[in-house]
Chain A
């Protein structure tokens, strides 16, 4: 087992002007499960493939432990990879698939079979050892792919969207099993996904990528509560954070309603800044912001109310989270109040401040601000 280090790792695909991964700097601790997350084209899979040795580096280095593996062949990196489509060898049965790497390394047959059986037991695959992959269900194939990686006992597991071919229910279940397994085996794992829920639930830390640039790498709660920039704020959380452009003239106003802030915001007077707040900070009922209901998403335990407001002469959509039951109908006029954490972002997108904001004048010191008194968390993130 070992730590993994990306040092200014860069990859250009031939014929493209922009790097797929640009000067990625990332340290992954021994035994950590780090999730690389981002929309398609963000470079997360490329970053993983660079670690696997399936993509060459155009700049920088990749280290596993103390060893610079930048120009080491994949087979000599001591890693195991789980592919999105599992990449099981179709003509080999489950046991042969899992034992393939050991066979290539000349592990004696008796030991090989023993290790395969041990892992099969761990993954509940004993009954399927002599089946071909095509005779397995999606979930079983996924486990075989995992098993093939585990049998190796490598330094690092690389997982490229390993759950995306499973149906929704099985995915949630496997997600938990996989996280538990990783914790038990304690092997450093780099996990790629486009699903922010998967990232938040599985990752010890989550690295958010966009257009080949690392946006922020931190523990899930910090990503959620203290996003480094507008992109991370919008990407993490479902439904997404409400974001509104406002003129930096104190007091800040949303749809004409004045905002009371717990702390002063240090923005250049007159700049266009962006304020962001989660749906849970927005209340439907009484308040100075008037809007009209556009859609109601009733999830049973909670209801998301999409409303249209008039903000600085344009229409904008705000999502409020409210407790069920909710009586409002589409087209109803409603009043909204803001009360809770609000982020203020620079015009370029970086986070300027996080304050507690309210549309009512009231005592703002207290519970909301506590989170911000955790600079240790806030500073672990590395804004791009």
Chain B
């Protein structure tokens, strides 16, 4: 008799117990990593004293902390202002990144120059430098050009930070485009602009969207440069989150609420990017 195992997911010769053990380990690790985030969200709905005393899983939730952090007492940084600043910096820098990275990635992927590997490595090597090591020269330069405490300096910096990553990502998407499509467009008489707008960009659109979303996330989250170069005017959301740390009284629930607010756009973008990214990566299937 053949032992029937309808719909089994086990591979041939694999043991069920091993599968279960692996699955349990994976779930356990995932929960450990997720727990602090879960606790932060939970705390943001608590009263301040509940958040600061012994851990409580059950409590009567309140939105008061969100009201607290978005209300705008005189002399403090308003959430609205910070969000607007962040949005401007993030969108501008991402647009500039795309405008620069698309031609660069096209060149590297489709008409590679000699030593293109070295060029790619140079791009990514800029990421090896510790950010702290770069802050002094950047501060001096920003000061010299009188751009301290402006959004401009952040736009320039975030563009520079995201550019190498964007070139790498976009290059990998462009490389996926079948060579024959570009050759066919060549023979069909499309010039560079026609090729880019009618063939390459539409096909690579999911990849470009994924790249843009990652740039948005990184720029939105950036804290170190923002706090060093921009402490007074034009503060961004990460800096606003820290303003909820107080030396007087408890602040854990308020800080949690602020953090959740700062996370929401990123979580949304990440969720979108994930869906897009999968489409982007399956682009090879278009043959």
The chain A residues found within 8 Å of chain B, CB to CB, are: 52-54, 73-75, 77, 79-81, 83-85, 87, 89-92, 100-101, 104-105, 134, 148, 152
Contacts and interface: CB of A to CB of B under 8 A. Distances in A.
A74 B198 contact: no
B186 A100 contact: no
Interface in B152-207: 178, 180-181, 183-191, 194, 198-199, 202-203
A100 B286 contact: no
Contact of B189 (A89, A90, A91, A104): A104
B189 A101 contact: yes
A83 B180 contact: yes
A79 B187 contact: yes
B125 to A, nearest CB: 27
B144 interface: no
Nearest to B201: A91
Interface residues of B, number: 19
B199 A105 contact: no
11 contacts: A54-B183, A81-B184, A81-B187, A83-B180, A83-B183, A85-B178, A87-B180, A89-B199, A91-B202, A104-B188, A148-B188
A87 B191 contact: no
B201 to A, nearest CB: 10
A172 B152 CA distance: 66
Contact of A74 (B181, B186, B194, B286): B186
Contacts of A77: 187
Contacts, number: 64
B178 A100 contact: no
The binding surface of chain B is classed by DSSP as helix
B189 A80 contact: no
A77 B187 CA distance: 8
A104 B190 contact: yes
B190 A75 contact: yes
B181 A89 contact: yes
Contacts of B194: 104
A52 B187 contact: yes
Given A90-B203, A91-B202, A91-B203, A75 B178 contact: no
Contacts of B183: 52, 54, 74, 81, 83, 87
Interface of B: 178, 180-181, 183-191, 194, 198-199, 202-203, 286-287
Contact of B187 (A74, A85, A89): A74
A105 B189 contact: yes
Given A89-B181, A104-B188, A134 B286 contact: yes
A85 B188 contact: no
A73 B189 CA distance: 9
B184 to A, nearest CB: 4
B188 A100 contact: yes
Looking at A73, A92, A100, the one whose CB has the most chain B CB atoms below 10 A away is A100
A57 to B, nearest CB: 17
A83 B191 CA distance: 20
Given A85-B180, A87-B181, A134-B286, A100 B198 contact: yes
Nearest to A99: B188
B187 A75 contact: yes
Contacts of A91: 202-203
A80 B180 contact: no
Contacts of B180: 83-85, 87
A84 B184 CA distance: 11
B176 to A, nearest CB: 12
Contact of B184 (A73, A83, A105, A134): A83
Q: In the A-B complex, list the 6 residue pairs whose CB atoms are closest, starting with the nearest.
A: A87-B180, A101-B188, A75-B189, A87-B184, A104-B189, A90-B286
Nearest to B202: A91
A85 B287 CA distance: 7
Contacts of A152: 188
B188 A75 contact: yes
A333 B163 CA distance: 76
A134 B203 CA distance: 13
Given A83-B184, A89-B198, 15 more contacts: A54-B186, A54-B187, A74-B187, A75-B190, A81-B183, A81-B187, A83-B183, A84-B180, A85-B180, A89-B181, A91-B202, A92-B198, A101-B189, A105-B189, A152-B188
A80 B286 contact: no
B113 to A, nearest CB: 14
A112 to B, nearest CB: 13
A78 to B, nearest CB: 9
Nearest to A165: B287
A91 B202 CA distance: 7
Contacts of A148: 184, 188
